[in-house]
């Protein structure tokens, strides 16, 4: 096989929603166009790219619509919210990439893969759901949903009640071989949206979707390992990762190794729910044999790949 440099690029929420005031579909598409320009730069430099993405806000919108339309229409289970958002976001990225390649005269095509991610049905996360999803509810509604729809609900300090679901660890990307084949055939792939649609397997290998969510950085890391990616790039809202983030003694990191990443993580430098899972996902990628990972923001992808910015984490 030819020597292709393969990168899994996990794009964060800021690649689709810039701020609260810009979350309409045209706004999301405009943001996607901008992000895909940076991805196209990478591709123009010779990288084969799998783009993965989050879907938290988009799933929230579907759940809200579903909630408001309850008197008339069926509810949308969480695994279907995942599938719907993978399709819609895949569509945006494919179209933005298509138009960008056309503009540059690049002979390249993008394709999206609806991706399922296997989780262990005995994952301890299922016994203590912790990830809030959907709208806030009053106590009566929360208790009703808990009784009639088997939701786990929790009170969120004064703000009302919310449904919580499990966030199990991804075990296998079901469509990894399909994604690898597409990459080898020269396609740009959009996949593992929202970390993949969580599915469990029975003793015969049959898959069933579950009402859970997967961390997109963990799902992307697993895909990067499964396809033997040369680079795992996490594109988010910061140009670099810092020690003592947002404190007077903040110190930006240029290049660290696996052992430093583990130590800084243990020292609590990376916030839970934002930078923490990214570093953990990168540590897992490097522990499974990955060589290098990079964290930067979309605008700086080109500069970071040229070595002039971003935070590089290497085995």
Binding stretches for ligand ADP (CB under 6 A):
12-13, 54, 236-238, 241-242, 245, 269-271, 274-275
Least spacing, CB of residue 19 vs ligand ADP, in Å: 13
Lookup: tokens for 71: 């008197």
278 is catalytic: yes
List 9's β-bridge partners, or say none: 51, 233
Q: Angle of helix 56-68 relative to helix 78-104, nearest 10 degrees?
A: 130
131 is catalytic: yes
- Residue whose CB is less far from ligand ADP, 163 or 269: 269
Least spacing, CB of residue 242 vs ligand ADP, in Å: 4
Least spacing, CB of residue 218 vs ligand ADP, in Å: 11
CA distance linking residue 61 with residue 56, whole number of Å: 9
Name the closest residue to ligand ADP (Cβ). 12
- Residue whose CB is less far from ligand ADP, 12 or 196: 12
CA distance linking residue 172 with residue 65, whole number of Å: 31
For the chain, where are the alpha helices, taking DSSP H only? 25-44, 56-68, 78-104, 139-149, 176-184, 216-226, 258-266, 275-287, 301-305
CA distance linking residue 64 with residue 202, whole number of Å: 32
The active-site residue, picked from 13, 56, 160, 276, is 13
CA distance linking residue 146 with residue 64, whole number of Å: 17
Q: Find how far residue 261's CA is from the centre of its chain.
A: 20
Least spacing, CB of residue 13 vs ligand ADP, in Å: 3
Q: Are 314 and 255 in contact (CB under 8 A)?
A: yes
13 is catalytic: yes
CA distance linking residue 269 with residue 276, whole number of Å: 8
- Residue whose CB is less far from ligand ADP, 54 or 108: 54
Query: Greatest CA span in the chain, whole angstroms?
Result: 61
- Residue whose CB is less far from ligand ADP, 16 or 199: 16
Least spacing, CB of residue 92 vs ligand ADP, in Å: 16
The active-site residue, picked from 18, 99, 131, 160, is 131
Query: How many angstroms separate the Cα of 143 from the Cα of each of 29, 120, 129, 146, 150?
Result: 38, 28, 16, 5, 10
Closest to 171 (Cα-Cα) out of 193, 199, 190:
199
CA distance linking residue 238 with residue 275, whole number of Å: 10
- Residue whose CB is less far from ligand ADP, 207 or 271: 271
Least spacing, CB of residue 311 vs ligand ADP, in Å: 8
The active-site residue, picked from 134, 191, 278, 310, is 278
246 is catalytic: no
- Residue whose CB is less far from ligand ADP, 66 or 86: 86
- Tell me the catalytic residues: 13-14, 131, 216, 278
């Amino acid at each position: 096989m030819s020597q292709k440099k393969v990168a899994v690029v996990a794009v964060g929420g800021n690649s689709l929603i810039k701020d609260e005031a810009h979350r309409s579909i045209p706004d999301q598409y405009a943001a996607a166009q901008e992000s895909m320009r940076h991805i196209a730069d990478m591709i123009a430099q010779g990288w084969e790219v799998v783009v993965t993405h989050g879907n938290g806000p988009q799933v929230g919108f579907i759940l809200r619509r579903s909630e408001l339309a309850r008197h008339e229409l069926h509810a949308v289970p969480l695994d279907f919210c995942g599938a719907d958002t993978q399709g819609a976001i895949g569509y945006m990225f494919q179209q933005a990439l298509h138009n960008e390649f056309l503009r540059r005269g690049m002979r390249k095509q993008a394709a999206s893969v609806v991706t399922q991610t296997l989780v262990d049905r005995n994952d301890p996360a299922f016994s203590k759901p912790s990830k809030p999803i959907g709208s806030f509810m009053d106590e009566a509604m929360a208790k009703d949903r808990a009784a009639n729809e088997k939701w786990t609900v929790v009170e969120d300090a004064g703000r009302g009640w919310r449904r919580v679901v499990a966030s199990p660890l991804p075990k296998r990307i079901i469509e990894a071989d399909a994604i690898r084949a597409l990459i080898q055939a020269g396609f740009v792939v959009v996949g593992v949206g929202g970390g993949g649609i969580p599915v469990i397997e029975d003793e015969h290998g049959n898959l069933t979707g579950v009402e859970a969510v997967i961390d997109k950085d963990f799902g992307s890391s697993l895909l990067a390992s499964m396809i033997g990616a040369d680079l795992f790039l996490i594109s988010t809202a910061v140009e670099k990762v810092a020690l003592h983030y947002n404190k007077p003694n903040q110190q930006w990191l240029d290049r660290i190794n696996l052992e430093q990443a583990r130590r800084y993580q243990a020292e609590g430098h990376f916030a839970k729910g934002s930078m923490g899972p990214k570093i953990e996902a990168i540590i897992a990628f490097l522990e499974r044999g990955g060589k290098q990972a990079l964290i930067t923001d979309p605008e700086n992808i080109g500069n970071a790949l040229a070595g002039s910015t971003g935070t590089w984490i290497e085995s």
